[in-house]
Amino acid sequence: MRALPCCADARRRRLRHSKVIESHRRLLIRLLDAVLPIEAIDTSVTGFAARYGFVEPARRACLRGDASILGAPVTGDCDVTWDIAALAALSPSSAGVDELLIVENQTSFLAAPSAPGRLVLWGAGYGADELLAALPWRGAVAVRYWGDIDTHGFVILAQVRAAAPHTTSVLMDIGTLLAHRTFWTQETSPRTDPLPALTEQESQACEALRNGRYGPRVRLEQEFIRYDLVLDVLLATDMPA
pLDDT of 11 over the 70 cut: no
pLDDT-derived band at 51, boundaries 50, 70, 90: confident
Q: In the predicted model, what is the mean pLDDT of the chain? A: 87
Q: Annotate the chain with three-state secondary structure.
A: CCCCCCHHHHHHHHCCCCCHHHHCHHHHHHHHHHHCCHHHCCCCCCCHHHHHCCCCCCCEEEEEEEHHHHCCCCCCEEEEEEEHHHHHCCCHHHHCCCEEEEECCHHHHHHCCCCCCEEEEECCCCCHHHHHHCCCCHHHCEEEEECCECHHHHHHHHHHHHHCCCCEECCCCHHHHHCCHHHCEECCCCCCCCCCCCCHHHHHHHHHHHCCCCCCCEEECHHHCCHHHHHHHHCCCCCCC
Who wins on pLDDT, 187 or 239? Answer: 187
pLDDT of 129 over the 80 cut: yes
Q: Tens digit of pLDDT for each residue in 156-177?
A: 999 999 999 999 999 999 999 9
